[in-house]
Structure 1
C-alpha cells in the first residue's frame, strides 16, 4: 500500500484558515467565468487533509452549482490587519449538508471576524448583517487541498506552500 502524502496544510495554517479571517470561495461557471461568494466559517479535518467551508446556499448558489458540475474549488483566507493571505485549491470538492454544530461555528466566526474589523472602523452589527446566513440555509463544501499558495502581498506572493505544485 503506498504511503499517503503529507497534508499540504501545517498546523499553524490550519488554525489560521479556521480563525477570524476573511473567507472567500470560488468555482467555475459555464464558459470558465468565476463564481464567487463569502464563506462564513471553516473546519479542517484532524489529519489536515480536508477543508470544509460553510456557505449560505442562496448566497453561494453559483459556487455550489460550479462545484457540483466539475468539483474544482478555490478558497482564499486573509487576515485584514496583517494582510496575511493563503489560497487553497482543490479538484474534488463536494457540497454537503451542514453538520450539527455548524450554525454555532458560523455564529462564532461572525463574532470573531467582527471583532477583528471593529478597530478598523467597521461596526460589528454591519459585519453580522453582511455575513448573516439562516441556519436552515447553511451548507458546506468539503475539499482536499491540491495546492496551497502564499498570497500575502510582498516578494513571496504566489509561492506554493508545502508540496504544492
Structure 2
C-alpha cells in the first residue's frame, strides 16, 4: 500500500494495537542485518496515522540505531490467544523522548499482556520480567503508518490491508480483534 497520505487506522485497529497484544519492533542495517525488540506499549496519535511505540532504550539499542540510520520500521502486533496479527510499516521512524504518562501507559500495557498470557499458562512473574524496564530507559519510536498487512497465520498472511480490518482469520479482515 503506497498511498500513505490516505492510510488512517480505524477504531478496531487502534484498539487492537493499543491492547494487550505482543508488540515487536524491527528494523535493519544498511547491509540488511535485522534487529528486533519487544515493545512495552503503543499509543496512536489523534491523526490516527502516527504510532508511538514504547521501547526500553538499552535492550532496544540495535533497533533504535537502525531506525536512526534508515527511518524504516516494521512493528508486529499479535494476540497470542488467537494468533491474530497485524503488521504496520513506517518509512519515517524517529526516536523521541517519552511524553508524560508514557511510563503509566507501559505499566497498563504490561498488565493487559499479563491478562492475555496468564490463561495460556505463562507465569505472571515471567511476563513481567520480560516486559520489565527501568523508567529512565523508556523511549518512543514514532512513525507514520505507511503500510498495513495481515500476518495472521493462514491463507491471507502477508495480504496488504486497507482500512477496516485487524488481521482476522480466513473470513473478513475485520473479524474480531477489538478490545
Regarding TM over 0.5, the answer is: yes
TM range (shorter): over 0.9
Q: CA deviation at 1:30?
A: 4.0
Q: CA deviation at 1:138?
A: 0.1
What does residue 86 of structure 1 align with? 86
Counterparts of 2:29 and 2:132 in 1: how far apart (Å)? Answer: 24
2:98–2:138 CA contact under 8 A, matched in 1: yes
Q: Which consecutive unaligned segments of at least 5 residues does structure 1 have?
A: none
What does residue 64 of structure 2 align with? 64
TM-score with structure 1 setting the length: 0.93
What does residue 9 of structure 2 align with? 9
How many residue pairs align between the two structures?
160
Counterparts of 2:29 and 2:124 in 1: how far apart (Å)? Answer: 33
Q: CA deviation at 1:6?
A: 3.1
Counterparts of 1:101 and 1:153 in 2: how far apart (Å)? Answer: 34
Q: Which shifted more, 37-46 or 22-31?
A: 22-31
Q: CA deviation at 1:8?
A: 3.6
2:7–2:147 CA contact under 8 A, matched in 1: no
TM-score with structure 2 setting the length: 0.86
1:27–1:72 CA contact under 8 A, matched in 2: yes
Q: Which consecutive unaligned segments of at least 5 residues does structure 2 have?
A: 164-179
2:7–2:146 CA contact under 8 A, matched in 1: no
What does residue 44 of structure 2 align with? 44
Counterparts of 2:23 and 2:5 in 1: how far apart (Å)? Answer: 26
Tell me the C-alpha RMSD between the 2 structures. Answer: 1.3
Q: How does 1:77-116 map to 2 (within 5 A)?
A: 77-116=77-116
Q: CA deviation at 1:5?
A: 3.5
